[in-house]
Amino acid sequence: RVLILDFGSQVTQLIARRVRETGVYCEIHPFSVSAEAIAAYAPKAVILSGSPASVTDENAPSAPQAVFDLGVPVLGICYGQQTMCQQLGGNVSGSDHREFGRAFIEITSSCALFDGLWAVGSREQVWMSHGDRVTAIPPGFRVVAVSDGAPFAAIADDDRRLYGVQFHPEVVHTPHGAQLLANFVHGVAGLKGDWTMAAFKQQAIAKIRAQVGSGKVICGLSGGVDSSVAAVLIHEAIGDQLTCIFVDTGLMRAGEADEVVTLFRDHYNIPLIHRNASDLFLGKLAGVTDPEQKRKIIGGLFIDVFDEESHKIGGAEFLAQGTLYPDVIESVSFTGGPSVTIKSHHNVGGLPDRMKLKLVEPLRELFKDEVRALGRELGLPQSFIGRHPFPGPGLAIRIPGEITPEKLDILRKADTVYLEEIRNAGLYDAIWQAFAVLLPVRTVGVMGDGRTYDHVLALRAVTSTDGMTADWYHFPHEFLARVSNRIVNEVRGVNRVVYDITSKPPGTIEWE
């Protein structure tokens, strides 16, 4: 396995994704990780990430010496290359020839990183993002590629198997970057690509059995991919020692609650408690208009209801959660300052403390796309695995202002039409999230000979890779025309449709 030391780069997770795509397991740890922890992890290769920091700063972060003493291959990327040079006797300085974005390197010497990829003398496109640069390489190193802004664009010490690149092979803008990383893990480090989802599944099942023994596990199902995959995996491991609890908030989309019940109870035969709590949720939400207040009420009620149902089961020792790797990685930040709360996302956070249960988190090591692959391995239908994300507070945050059963009904109908058209047009998988928002605004319209005074419906569709940033989706105009027409004709209560063309930032994906 590979150890990735994070120095706070925005794209460290991409390094991990690329390494795992080669079939080799890796973990991200902060650069400040202890020598003991490194020894315990026993990596077969180490990658040092980039960083917003500058090696020339007084308190610049550096790699633990242990990394260079292990005798395993090390690859430094950008800042990782610079700190490696600095620490091993080379030199780095600020440069007025900064390189940001697309750049070209010239391969000046053969190197194991370039095997089967780049020939000596060729010019290759890469992605750079650096102000500082290496100005002298440590003893034992040689230069293998240069660029206009970086005379040491790639360096190698073949004996010690230490390598450094000034560019970022992990981003897609370095077209052959993924293969360069594969050369490092397979070629240089000699690691086999045997970390597959089939192998992961077997290991995970063994781990769950070892942790749980004959204990009882409860799992909250939300209808989303993560909790579903976790539940099916755990059920494969321990069968009916698992009970799932599905709290139906009455805030899901049309038909969704039934789908969850059918899939888990009837198809997988997983013991499932379906608690229809919509009256409770809608009652407590009556008259509430503030988005944060809505989230608090929903989050709090969810915990109450879940707690109540789990007590009815009795004797549960473990709580299963679909926690993913990005939630687990200890983040390294040099920007400082507390971050502002934009939205207080409710998931099942808060449950474990209150319930005094031990956590079973079989997906802790996986990225989202790996969870999907595992879901496929477990036989979950593609329609389920490929679903767009859906927020915990559900349709409540897609009805700005007060939530009423009538508004929910209108929104469900309109949302169904919208998603149906997206699927028919074959666009569903190209979109990260698409949904309708029912606005608390009425406008005048004319239908037939009559005047109407009905709600405005906003359509939203975005592309994104992680939900952190997003771009609005450019639908063909005919598509928008068709959806608008269908909704106004078919959904009573809506007489006007608008399309949201705001990216994130400055907008957020949801309207509340």
Q: Give, rounded to a whole angstrom, the gap between the first and last alpha carbons of the chain.
A: 42
Q: Is the dihedral of CA 259, 369, 419, 409 positive or negative?
A: positive
Which segments are annotated as binding site for ATP? 222-228
Q: Which stretch binds ligand XMP (CB under 6 A): 32-40, 107-115, 203-211, 341-349?
A: 341-349
Enumerate residues 26-65 that contact ligand XMP by CB under 6 A. Answer: none
DSSP 447-498: ETTEEEEEEEEEEEEEE-SSSSSBEE----HHHHHHHHHHHHHHSTTEEEEE
Q: Does 508 bind ligand XMP (CB under 6 A)?
A: yes
- 473 burial (CB, 10 Å; 0-12 / 13-18 / 19+) is buried
Of residues 439 through 478, those in contact with ligand XMP by CB under 6 A are 467
Q: Are 421 and 486 in contact (CB under 8 A)?
A: yes
The one segment of 87-95, 110-118, 164-172, 502-510 that binds ligand XMP by CB under 6 A: 502-510
For ligand XMP, the closer CB: 275 or 343 = 343
**Size of interface with ligand XMP, in residues (CB under 6 A):** 15
Nearer to ligand XMP, 343 or 486 (CB): 343
Task: Choose, by CB under 6 A, the member of 433, 434, 457, 494 that binds ligand XMP.
Answer: 433
Stretch near ligand XMP under the rule CB under 6 A, chosen from 66-74, 343-351, 373-381, 471-479? 343-351
The single residue among 295, 398, 407, 455 that binds ligand XMP, judged by CB under 6 A, is: 295
CB under 6 A: which stretch of 2-10, 58-66, 344-352, 412-420 binds ligand XMP? 344-352
CB of 338 to ligand XMP, least distance (A): 18
Nearer to ligand XMP, 317 or 510 (CB): 510
Inter-residue contact 26 to 72 (CB < 8 Å) = no
Residue (of 161, 261, 280) closest to 221 by Cα position:
261
**Residue among 142 and 345 whose Cβ is closer to ligand XMP:** 345
Q: By CB under 6 A, is residue 294 in contact with ligand XMP?
A: no
The DSSP symbol for 352 reads H
- Residue 511 structure tokens: 């309207």
Taking the least distance from each CB to ligand XMP, the nearer of 61 and 299 is 299
In the complex, minimum distance from the CB of residue 344 to ligand XMP, in angstroms, rounded to a whole number: 7
Single residue of 253, 346, 398, 412 touching ligand XMP by CB under 6 A:
346
HEC assignment per residue over 153-196: CEEEECCCCEEEECCCCCCCCCCCHHHHHHHHHHHHCCCCCCCC
From candidates 192, 345, 354, 423, binder to ligand XMP by CB under 6 A? 345
Catalytic: 244?
no
Report the candidate in 68, 48, 82, 367 with the shortest Cα–Cα distance to residue 184.
48
Active site residue 168: yes
Partners of 228 in the beta sheet?
none
CA distance 319 to 219: 6
Tell me how far, at minimum, the Cβ of 398 lies from ligand XMP, in Å.
9
Q: Min. distance of Cβ 389 from ligand XMP in angstroms? A: 4
Closest separation in Å from C-beta 208 to ligand XMP: 25
DSSP 399: S
Tell me the β-bridge partners of 156. 142, 163
CA 351 to chain centre: 22
**Which position among 26, 78, 85, 244 bears the catalytic label?**
78
Q: How far apart are CA 18 and CA 2, in angstroms?
A: 12
| 402, amino acid identity | E
Hey, what amino acid is at 37? A
User: Catalytic residue among 168, 235, 346, 455, which?
Assistant: 168
Q: Report if residue 343 touches ligand XMP, rule: CB under 6 A.
A: yes
292 vs 304, which CB is nearer to ligand XMP? Answer: 292
- Gyration radius of the chain over CA positions: 26
- Report in angstroms the alpha-carbon separations of 280 from 224, 260, 308: 22, 20, 13
Q: Which amino acid is at 444?
A: V
CA distance 77 to 113: 13
Tokens standing for residue 82: 């610079």
29 catalytic per annotation: no
Tokens representing 135 are 């100005």
The binding track of 377-406 with respect to ligand XMP, each residue x by CB under 6 A or -, is ------------x-xxx-------------
Residue closer to ligand XMP by CB (options 389, 405) is 389
Contact flag: residue 368 with ligand XMP (CB under 6 A):
no
Name the catalytic one among 99, 124, 170, 370: 170
Which residue in the set 115, 158, 256, 510 belongs to the binding site for ligand XMP (CB under 6 A)? 510
| E strand or H helix at 226 | helix 225-238
Sign of torsion, CA 115 121 125 127? positive
Give the shortest CB-251-to-ligand XMP separation in angstroms.
11
Q: Give the residues across from 30 on adjacent strands.
A: 6
Indicate which single residue of 82, 86, 347, 495 sits in contact with ligand XMP (rule: CB under 6 A): 347
Nearer to ligand XMP, 170 or 226 (CB): 226
Binding site for ligand XMP (CB under 6 A): 295, 343, 345-347, 389, 391-393, 433, 467, 504, 508-510
User: Where in the sequence numbering do the catalytic residues fall?
Assistant: 78, 168, 170
